[in-house]
């Protein structure tokens, strides 16, 4: 049985629309297509719904001003006529996107298994989808959050930035979340929260051009993947204070999905990347140049860890000219997500959808903490 038949369908638009061109990795499901395997949560033979654990909720970290506005749900209240809470369409689309491009991406999975130090990165950034010419944020007929069709992204760019004032306000908000998650500080007596850990990182990145000798040191499947792009760089991160090399990484972009959020200051880009630990020495690699000089960037970063599955990074990046950019991003633990996906293959209870939903909810919570339009 299709689980979607058990819940209220989302009303369709009254306006006719042409067949959408969805982002690569999301195929438009036909009316009678079977539900994807990750979304099957019902034992058909017994007609028993598999219990679902609660995902991180938006109410877990609201600004202090919102705490008093939370309503009390009556004991006899039901979320719908079926007493089921309808699924979140955005989360479902992101689940499909990650299932196809991570879980079912055999080449990517083979590259990870082939050599230690190679891993899938799932990250989401806050920013704005802008027109390349006007630099204005894109606008359309939508007034609420939506996944943007790939065809509608032509002529646009995703600008991952925020103002210094927004950076300060976000830093304050995240620090307040850390305090509120500590024992004995929750608003309800006896309530408990998962701890929020944080650390302050200062590092300097420099970049080197990957040459043929360095390319030959990589594993075969990784070489096959990197052949699809013309130029690769090795990012070397050093501790700013000591100069110690922390990591040498080749980061290869696999695919992006973008979400427009016109009610908030930011849109979102969810990216799947392959991160490869560079095994060779730096000797023999030419430093990358920009504007005729070696390019480095200093990063002053606060890292917040939630549920051991999400890491939120608030970063101030300074380039060689002294120009500063402020960035906010969240990383979902790809290894844990894949492990939850494997449970589905074995008909075991899985947190796959909840983990993806937690990432989407964190994107929303942090956007709304700065203020809605």
Read off the pLDDT of each residue in 155-181 and give the average, rounded to a whole number.
94
3-state secondary structure 222-257: HHHHHCCCCCCEEEEEEECCCCCEEEEEEEEEEEEE
Q: Domain for residue 70, yes or no?
A: no
- Predicted TM-score of the model (pTM): 0.80
pLDDT bin (cut points 50, 70, 90) of residue 26 is low
Read off the pLDDT of each residue in 279-289 and give the average, rounded to a whole number.
93
Q: Which run of H or E residues covers position 65?
A: helix 64-67
Cβ contacts of residue 135 below 8 Å, gap of 6+?
none
pLDDT bin (cut points 50, 70, 90) of residue 151 is confident
Q: Domain for residue 68, yes or no?
A: no
**Which CATH number does the domain housing residue 256 bear?**
3.20.100.10
Is the Cα dihedral 80, 84, 85, 91 positive or negative? negative
pLDDT bin (cut points 50, 70, 90) of residue 183 is confident
Q: What is the DSSP letter of 323?
A: -
d(CA 103, CA 353): 13
Counting residues of the chain whose pLDDT is more than 70, the rounded percentage is: 78
Q: Domain for residue 344, yes or no?
A: yes
How many domains does the chain divide into? 1
Q: Domain for residue 99, yes or no?
A: yes
Q: Domain for residue 310, yes or no?
A: yes
Average pLDDT in the chain: 83
Q: Domain for residue 176, yes or no?
A: yes
Q: How many CB atoms lie within 10 A of CB 98?
A: 29
Q: Domain for residue 74, yes or no?
A: no
Is the Cα dihedral 270, 272, 278, 279 positive or negative? positive
Q: Which domain holds residue 94?
A: 3-61+79-370
Q: Domain for residue 311, yes or no?
A: yes
Which tokens go with 198? 């944080």
């Amino acid at each position: 049985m299709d689980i979607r038949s058990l819940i209220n369908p989302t009303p369709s638009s009254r306006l006719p629309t042409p067949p959408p061109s969805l982002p690569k990795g999301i195929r438009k499901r036909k009316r009678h297509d079977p539900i994807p395997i990750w979304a099957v949560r019902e034992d058909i033979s017994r007609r028993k719904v598999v219990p679902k654990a609660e995902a991180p909720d938006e109410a877990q970290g609201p600004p202090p001003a919102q705490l008093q506005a939370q309503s009390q749900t009556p004991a006899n209240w039901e979320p719908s006529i079926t007493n089921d809470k309808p699924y979140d369409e955005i989360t479902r689309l992101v689940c499909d996107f990650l299932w196809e491009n991570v879980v079912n991406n055999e080449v990517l999975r083979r590259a990870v298994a082939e050599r230690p130090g190679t891993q899938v990165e799932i990250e989401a950034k806050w920013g704005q989808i802008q027109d390349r010419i006007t630099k204005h944020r894109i606008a359309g007929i939508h007034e609420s959050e939506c996944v943007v069709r790939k065809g509608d992204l032509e002529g646009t760019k995703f600008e991952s930035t925020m103002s210094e004032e927004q950076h300060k306000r976000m830093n304050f908000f995240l620090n307040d979340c850390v305090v509120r998650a500590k024992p004995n500080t929750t608003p309800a007596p006896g309530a408990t929260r998962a701890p929020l850990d944080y650390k302050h990182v200062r590092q300097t990145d420099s970049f080197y051009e990957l040459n043929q000798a360095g390319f030959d040191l990589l594993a075969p499947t990784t070489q096959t993947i990197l052949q699809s792009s013309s130029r690769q760089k090795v990012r070397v991160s050093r501790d700013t204070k000591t100069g110690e090399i922390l990591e040498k990484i080749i980061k290869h972009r696999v695919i992006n999905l973008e979400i427009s959020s016109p009610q908030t200051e930011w849109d979102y880009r969810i990216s799947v990347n392959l991160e490869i630990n560079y095994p060779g020495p730096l000797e023999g690699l030419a430093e990358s140049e920009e504007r005729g000089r070696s390019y480095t960037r200093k990063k002053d970063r606060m890292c917040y860890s939630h549920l051991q599955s999400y890491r939120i990074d608030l970063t101030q990046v300074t380039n060689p000219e002294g120009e500063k950019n402020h960035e906010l991003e969240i990383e979902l633990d790809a290894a844990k997500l894949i492990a939850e996906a494997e449970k589905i293959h074995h008909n075991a209870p899985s947190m796959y959808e909840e983990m993806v939903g937690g990432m989407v909810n964190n994107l929303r919570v942090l956007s709304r903490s700065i203020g809605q339009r």
